Chains A and B, each alone.
Chain A
Amino acid sequence: MEKQLLIGNEAIARGLYEAGCRVVSSYPGTPSTEVTETAAAYPEIYCEWSPNEKVGVETALGAAIAGARAFSGMKHVGLNVAADPLFTSSYTGINAGMVILVADDPGMHSSQNEQDSRHYAKAAKLMMLEPSDSQECKDYAKLAFTLSEQFDTPVMLRLTTRVAHSRSLVELGDREEVALHPYVKDTDKYVMMPGRAKKRHVIVENRVEAQKHWAETASINTVEDNGSKIGVICAGISYQYAQEALGDKVNYLKLGCVYPLPEKLIQGFSHHCEKVYVLEQLDPFLEEYCKTIGVDVIGKEVFTLQGEYSQRLIRKVVLGEEYPTTSLDMAIPPRPPVLCAGCPHRGLFYALKRLKVTVCGDIGCYTLGASAPLGMIDTCICMGASVSSLHGRNKANPENETKSVAVIGDSTFIHSGITSLIDIAYNHSNSTVIVLDNSITGMTGHQENPTTGKNIYGDPATAVNLEALAHAIGIHRVRVVDPYQLKECEDVIREELAAEEPSLVISRRPCALLKYVKHNPPMKVDTDKCVGCKMCQKIGCPALSIRDKKSCIDFTQCVGCGVCTQLCKFGAIVEGK
């Protein structure tokens, strides 16, 4: 069979394909996005971007109850949003197999917190598998469907960033078509009201017991006995780090299933070792279980709760060895991410800076407006929180109404901003909400969403009309601005702050990285006119820098958006040819 170098997420998608999965509904989120993007390339699987994770899980559950193998994937914080259907899906169970993927981000490469989603598996009493490389991603995805049907439950897959985004070899197989399971009305199973749910809860507990039993001898829970006195219990990427750091110097218990855990297997493995380490990033999930079953292990007292592990860390802690390094005796300035050259968000933030307002921020590329030199975000919590927290801020003190705004991206607004805006209209605060409508879900790598007029396949789709939506929920002051026009933005927002009514400002211009966006030739600095006042540097465009005391434009980056030209009082920034 053919082998390919796939990232973990692509391998999961391949697993969905081979397992005969028919319906996929997900909301993007790093590091999970490519699963659904890749699945969309298989014509046999119907795929969609859902408006948020709760909708994604419910859509997949509906498909599974109707009899099709179904999937929903998300990042760790997305699972918080989907928690409601997650917990009760454990009670209803499924008809055809259902798999829910959650991708955690230890080290927070692209996230606002570092939560450990394994707790959800335990709390919702759902089985959870954790692969350690791309081949396992594919194999476990297929196995998860089998287990889902065997135990009548959704099964969770947990990835971490390094598994989701690392390429390794995967052997491809064929798709096995799975016929639609017939749907039979069964209200005791699918209608969760107290009387019926009480009976289902008994079934849930029995199922977990049966799964524990299964885990004791499951082929994905493996022991590798190298005749050592030291044992290592691990799962996922930590297994790969341990293999690299420790090789055959230790014995391994690799857990492919992280919930429920096999009590006897762990006890038996540890019994033969003098010292047992638990290697797991984030929380002491396996460690605490080991301790409750009377197995004495070494874990978080020597390892960290924060950030990622590596072979280096394990080598250092377990063997006391470290490789030498070379470094320069100079201060190396950091290189934080920035809004792209020509990003439409930049001009809007500049206008807010001029207005000296407090900004309740949200999650997306525009969160980068928090960084210097713009520095125009005061809060950023979770998707949708900008709008609701502005409402709370204005209720706390109505004087805030004229000097605070919320900024929220188009995808984020659809995800969870709409309900918050309804709160503003319904419970009336004179709030000014700005939707940064760049016609795409930018931060996660440019996915279509319900405002863009296209679906996941790039085919035409119904687009939410934001102006009409605002009117329909009772917001009657709706203004549309072009964020490349600095003065216009400033004037309009000033008026809306002063208005004694809630308002919605739509800052509309597509993301500068979209293929259909036509750019102007790069701008140039006329060095005879430039006096080196650095005024243009205030907008923080990465294409602008200072060379020999004059402003300088990097032709490889500048897209000729003309925002900086509006700041130069000397007319020194001119159109290139």
Chain B
Amino acid sequence: METKSIMIVGVGGQGTLLASRLLGNALLSKNYDVKVSEVHGMSQRGGSVVTYVKYGSKVASPIVALGEADLILSFEQLEAARWLPYLKKGGTIITNTQKMDPMPVVMGAAEYPHDILDAIRAKGVNLVAVDALSMAVQAGSAKAVNVALIGVMARNMDLEKQVWKDTIAATVPAKFLEMNEKAFELGYASQGE
């Protein structure tokens, strides 16, 4: 099987690392060759962060380059816009509608772009936009936003739902399992704008 490339992008501290670990483990249980490239360090302090997940019969490079991603899962609107050039022609981008002002915007040195979602759609890109933060809050904590987004992604990938649920159970700490399962279900059930 040809290698598939997924990117998980967001703001450091939003829990993108756990999302990529969940995705990697879910794919692994289907016996794919998997590579996941993570970011540690400086950018985890509120910077723009990206994790690459690749799978197939044999994966060489652990990173995804411009124009190569089959799917981008974005935790924040501006990050969806930033990483769009990495999407392959015909690829899909799933984004959380949450907006987080980066420091240059807070200070008035730059403006948060308007209508990002419309602009992405206008480029003919397949876009799924969901309010994952509300789902997470509904499930019990804003911190579950990553698992809600995994739920949305699960719907857009061809792995059985049970694989995802088993992976979540095996990856998240027991005391947060119920909340995360709920967040996953809410994400899975959402249709997107």
Interface positions of A (Cβ within 8 A of B): 5, 7, 30-31, 33-34, 109-110, 133, 162, 165-169, 237, 240-241, 243-245, 310-313, 322-340, 365, 368, 371-373, 443-445, 537, 540, 542, 544-546, 554-556
CB distance from A315 to the nearest CB of B (A): 8
CB distance from B78 to the nearest CB of A (A): 7
B169 within 8 A of A: no
Which listed residue, B42, B60, B109, touches A30 by the CB 8 Å rule? B42
Give the docked Cα–Cα distance between A240 and B65 (Å).
13
CB distance from B112 to the nearest CB of A (A): 7
B170 within 8 A of A: no
| A332 contacts B81, C-beta separation under 8 Å | yes
Q: Could you say which interface size class chain B belongs to?
A: 35 or more
| B66 contacts A340, C-beta separation under 8 Å | no
Given contacts A166-B35, A166-B36, A244-B3, 12 further A-B contacts (CB under 8 A): A5-B25, A167-B38, A240-B62, A241-B60, A244-B61, A313-B65, A323-B66, A328-B119, A330-B119, A333-B78, A546-B106, A554-B100
| B41 contacts A444, C-beta separation under 8 Å | yes
| A443 contacts B35, C-beta separation under 8 Å | no
Residues of B within 8 A of A368 (CB): 45
**What would be 27 A-B contacts, judged by CB atoms less than 8 Å apart?**
A31-B40, A133-B62, A162-B62, A162-B63, A165-B38, A165-B40, A168-B36, A241-B61, A243-B61, A244-B61, A311-B65, A312-B65, A312-B66, A323-B65, A325-B66, A326-B84, A326-B123, A334-B102, A335-B79, A335-B103, A336-B104, A338-B103, A373-B107, A444-B41, A540-B107, A542-B106, A545-B105
CB distance from A512 to the nearest CB of B (A): 11
- The chain A residue with its CB closest to the CB of B11 is A335
Interchain Cβ contacts within 8 Å, total number: 193
Contact flag A328-B61 (CB < 8 Å), given A110-B40, A335-B11: no
Which listed residue, A337, A537, A555, touches B43 by the CB 8 Å rule? A337
| B112 contacts A333, C-beta separation under 8 Å | yes
Stretch at the interface among B85-93, B150-158, B180-188: B85-93
User: CB-CB contacts of B104-139 with A at 8 A, as 1s and 0s?
Assistant: 111101111100100110010100000001000000
Give the docked Cα–Cα distance between A243 and B111 (Å).
41
Which listed residue, B11, B35, B100, B116, touches A167 by the CB 8 Å rule? B35
- The chain A residue with its CB closest to the CB of B65 is A312
| A338 contacts B45, C-beta separation under 8 Å | yes
| B125 contacts A326, C-beta separation under 8 Å | yes
Give the docked Cα–Cα distance between A170 and B4 (Å).
20
Give the docked Cα–Cα distance between A544 and B13 (Å).
16
| B102 contacts A333, C-beta separation under 8 Å | yes
CB distance from A467 to the nearest CB of B (A): 29
CB distance from B161 to the nearest CB of A (A): 21
Interface positions of B (Cβ within 8 A of A): 3, 11-13, 24-25, 28, 33-48, 59-63, 65-68, 78-79, 81-82, 84-89, 100-107, 109-113, 116, 119-120, 123, 125, 133, 142
Give the docked Cα–Cα distance between A244 and B56 (Å).
12
| A337 contacts B37, C-beta separation under 8 Å | no
Give the docked Cα–Cα distance between A371 and B46 (Å).
13
Which listed residue, A237, A328, A337, touches B12 by the CB 8 Å rule? A337
Contact flag A166-B85 (CB < 8 Å), given A310-B65, A328-B119, A537-B106: no
| A30 contacts B34, C-beta separation under 8 Å | no
Which listed residue, B34, B35, B103, B111, touches A336 by the CB 8 Å rule? B103
Residues of B within 8 A of A540 (CB): 103, 106-107
CB distance from A553 to the nearest CB of B (A): 12
Give the docked Cα–Cα distance between A133 and B36 (Å).
11
Q: Which of B61, B111, B142 has the most CB of A within 10 A?
A: B61
CB distance from A93 to the nearest CB of B (A): 34
| B101 contacts A30, C-beta separation under 8 Å | no
Residues of B within 8 A of A332 (CB): 78, 81-82, 113
Contact flag A110-B42 (CB < 8 Å), given A167-B24, A333-B102: yes
